[in-house]
Amino acid sequence: TGDIVLKKIAAILRNSVRSFDLVGRYGGEEFLIVLSGTSLQKAVKVADRIRETIENSKLVPDQKVTVSIGVAELKPSDESLNTLLRRADERLYLAKKKGRNRTEPEM
């Protein structure tokens, strides 16, 4: 059942972003989305739309599936990919800590 849910979530993610954005699995149950040329505010809107789509989808009979999302924006300085991913991951775990099924952007 877990693999089926992950495949359905991956399909929702691919269908929720533009053709030139990147979607990939990043770890066991984590996904990474790169929204090219997108402000933090717009990325949060996309993340919330994705979260609500997953919450309202019937991915598993008689069971609600939700996601927690962390959002980070690439800084204009020479930030490394590892630093950006670390900041997004910190936001993800903060979303989980605050009660799950939420989007937690950087401040």
Q: Mark whether 104 is an active-site residue.
A: no
Give backbone dihedrals phi and psi of 2, rounded to 5 degrees, phi first.
-60, -45
Q: What is 7-32 written as a DSSP string?
A: HHHHHHHHHHS-TTSEEEE-SSS-EE
Residues 29, 55, 73, 79: which is the catalytic one?
29
Residue partners of 42: CB distance under 8 A and separation at least 6: 35
Tokens of 63: 């069971």
Residue partners of 19: CB distance under 8 A and separation at least 6: none
Active site residues: 29
